[in-house]
Amino acid sequence: MPDVTAGAAASNPHIARYQARGLKGRILSGVQPTGNLHLGNYLGAIRNFARLQSDYECLYCVVDMHAITVWQDPAQLGSQTREIASAFLAAGVDGRKHIIFNQSMVPEHAQLAWIFNCVARLGWMNRMTQFKEKAGKDRENVSLGLYAYPALMAADILIYKATHVPVGEDQKQHLELTRDIAIKFNNDYAAPDFFPVTEPLIFGAATRVMSLRDGTKKMSKSDPSDFSRINLTDDADAIAGKIRRAKTDPHPMPETASEAEKRPDADNLLGIYAALADMEKDAVIFEFAGKQFSEFKSALTELAVDKLGPVGAEMQRLMKDPGHVDTVLKDGAQRARAIAAPILEEVYRTVGFLKP
Ligand code: AQP
C-alpha cells in the first residue's frame, strides 16, 4: 500500500492526532445501495476499504440517502442496503474493529448537510460533472437531492472529521468540493482547522473501470446492459460469458502502454487484469504483447473467477442471514453516532444555534 499520507501530516493537525496513535488518519467512504454492485465499485473502492483498515480508523457507510436522489423501490432498498454491507464484510472489512453502518441511521449526516447547503455556492454546484451526466437533458425533472448530493457527501465525510477518503477516480471532483466546503466553513466561522481538508486516496491499476461494452464509458450500476459490467454476485459462468463477449478490436494484444492507451477496450481489460492480479499494467502488457485476445480473455476469466468467486460466495452467504447484517449495521450506527453527535454539537455552537 503506497504511503499516500507522507508529507501531509506536518501541515495537518487532524492527521497528526492519528499519527500519535500509530495510525495514518480516519477514513470515511460510502457506496450507494442502488443494486448491481460491480467490479468497478470493488476495484475502485471496496477492495481498498479492507486493505486500508490496518493503517486507518475506518467508517464505511451504505449511503441510502444518496441512493434516493434517484427513484428506489422502497420494497427493494432494504435488501440492496444489506447487499452493500455484505460486500464490505465479504471483502474483509472487520465490522467489530471498524464501523459499518447505513447513512440514514445517523441523522447527523443530514443535519450537517443542511449547514453545508448554506456554505456551498451555487457556482460550485453548477460545475459538478456527475450531476450534468446524471441529469442529462432532463434537468428540470431531476430531484433537488441529486443536485445537492455533493453537499451531503461533504457532510458524510466531515461529520466524522475524516482525514482521508478512498474513492474511484469519478468521485475526485466531489472530494474537491468537500475540501472547498471545509475551507470556507473554517474561514467564514473563524474556526481555523475546525474541519480537516480531506485527502482523497485514489490508487491501484483500476481507479476507473470502464464498461465491457464500451471502453470509453464508465462501468456503472445503472447501465441498462448487464453485459456492460461484472456484478460481484455473478457466478463463474456469468463472469466467463461477459468476458467472452467483452468488446475488443480486430488487432492482436497491444505491445506498449502508449498503444494500449489508444485502444480503450483493450486498455480497460488490461487494467482489470492488472488490478485483479495486483500487477503493474506494464507487466501485463509485456506478458500478453502480440497475443490473441482469446488467449488473454481465457486468462482474465480464470483470474476473475479466482479472485471474485470467494467474495461473491461470501456475499451470497451473508445475504441469506439478514439478521446478522442488520446487527452489524445497527451496532455500527450507534458507534458512528457517538463520534458524530459531539462534532455536530460543536458545529451548532460555532454557527450560533441556541441549544434546546
Ligand atoms: N467504474 C468504476 N471504476 C472505479 N471505481 C468506481 N466507482 C464507481 N464506479 C466505478 C467507485 O465506487 C464507489 C461507490 O460508488 P457509488 O455506488 O456510490 O456511486 P457511483 O460512482 O455513482 O457508482 P455507479 O456504479 O456509477 O452507479 P450509478 O450507475 O448509479 O451512477 C465510489 O468510490 C466510486 O468512485
- pLDDT tens for each residue of 41-53: 999 889 999 999 9
Q: What is the predicted pLDDT for the residue at 233? A: 93
Q: What's the CATH class of domain 226-318?
A: mainly alpha
Each residue's pLDDT tens digit, 142-172? 999 999 999 999 999 999 999 999 888 889 9
User: Which ligand 1 atom is nearest residue 34's CA?
Assistant: 30
- The answer as to CATH 1.10.10.10 being correct for domain 6-208+322-351 is no
291 DSSP 8-state letter: -
Question: Which residues have C-beta atoms less than 6 Å from ligand 1?
Answer: 31-32, 34, 40-41, 44-45, 167-168, 170-171, 207-209, 218-222
* Rg of the chain, C-alpha, whole Å: 21
Active-site option among 134, 161, 242, 281: 134
CA 220 to centroid of ligand 1, rounded, Å = 6
Beta strands 56-62 and 199-201, pairing class: unpaired
Q: Which residue has the cell 441511521?
A: 105
Q: Is 218 a catalytic residue?
A: yes
Each residue's pLDDT tens digit, 87-139? 999 999 999 999 999 999 999 999 999 999 999 999 999 999 999 998 988 88
Average pLDDT value for the chain: 94
CA 322 to centroid of ligand 1, rounded, Å = 24
CA 178 to centroid of ligand 1, rounded, Å = 17
Provide the sign of the torsion angle of the four alpha carbons 336, 337, 341, 344, taken in this order.
Answer: positive
CA 36 to centroid of ligand 1, rounded, Å = 11
Integer Cα distance of 110 and 187 in angstroms: 22
Nearest-CA residue for ligand 1 atom 25 is: 220
Q: List Cα–Cα distances, 353 to 74, 196, 344, 345, in angstroms.
A: 34, 22, 11, 9
Q: What is the predicted pLDDT for the residue at 10? A: 53
Q: What is the predicted pLDDT for the residue at 2? A: 46
Long-range contacts of 113-116 (CB under 8 A, 24+ apart): 113/148, 113/151, 113/152, 113/154, 113/155, 115/155, 115/185, 115/347, 115/351, 116/151, 116/152, 116/154, 116/155, 116/158, 116/181, 116/185
Active-site option among 218, 242, 281, 297: 218
Each domain of the chain, given as residue ranges in start order, spans 6-208+322-351, 226-318
Q: What is the predicted pLDDT for the residue at 65? A: 98
Q: What is the predicted pLDDT for the residue at 47? A: 93
198 DSSP 8-state letter: P
